[in-house]
Amino acid sequence: MDRDISFKYKKEYLTNIPLIALVAANLIPFWGVLYGGWEAFHVVLLYWSENIVVGFYNILKMACAKVSHPAEHLGKLFMIPFFTVHYGGFCAVHGFFVLMLFGKGKSGFEPIHGESWPCFFVFVQMLLNVLKHVYSIMPEAMRYAMGALFVSHGISFVYNYLIKGEYARVKPDKLMGSPYARIVIMHLAVLFGAFLTMALGSPVGILIILVGLKTSLDVIFHLRQHKKHQAKTASG
């Protein structure tokens, strides 16, 4: 019986398309570290870029979330712009911090230049400027890695959220705060590893451990999140 249960879980993981895509996307930084000459900065910058991908799909999740009454769609007209501005500002400051920490900001680079956008939309402007700068200094291989992460999260969104019906079991207000905990835990671990690699001269061995740690955290968060939704389905 125990063997059957073990085989069932192994088969479930081996046929979990979003999980396979997630792990595959995370293998690209391994290649970058081993063969592409990536340093700690490149790894941290890639994982910061993934925050933007997470935020993009979270907005889609909020838009597609099922509501119990049509009038509740009006609430999304407030929550989605609020999340965009708040999360965008959070990521912009985080990205600027990463650039300055590793000394990769161009001379004279400013997150806000020219005429600033009105009110809180200045945070979106700042995010776009940081993103533009980040893209300009990314090696080509990192752009492919970022694209792979975008596709990976897209597969999870379509398969788990839309096809498996998670959109019907989550509320937009809960989605507003969901990316933050993942980002804080993930980047505390990644930045700690980055400081270690910088102190020791970015040895390949420690960078591999750093990428492996992030991949492991990704898998844990992925399984934990979707098991919660499965439990809700079973209890409902």
Residue 211 is given by DSSP the state: H
CB 18 within 8 Å of CB 155: yes
Length, in residues, of the chain: 236
d(CA 153, CA 57) in angstroms, rounded, equals 7
Per-residue pLDDT of the chain (236 residues; tens, 9 = 90+): 444 444 444 445 445 788 888 888 888 888 888 888 888 888 888 888 989 999 999 999 999 998 888 777 888 988 999 999 999 988 988 888 888 877 776 655 677 766 778 777 888 888 998 898 888 888 888 899 999 999 999 999 999 899 988 898 888 888 988 888 777 776 777 677 777 777 777 667 777 877 888 888 888 877 777 666 555 555 55
The alpha helices in the chain, defined as continuous H runs, are 2-14, 17-35, 40-64, 73-101, 122-137, 140-156, 172-199, 204-235
Question: What CA–CA distances, in Å, run from 154 to 33, 61, 64, 171, 208?
Answer: 25, 11, 14, 20, 26
Domain ranges, ordered by start, for the chain: 2-235
- Confidence at residue 52, expressed as pLDDT on a 0 to 100 scale: 93
CB 170 within 8 Å of CB 229: yes
What pTM did the predictor assign?
0.81
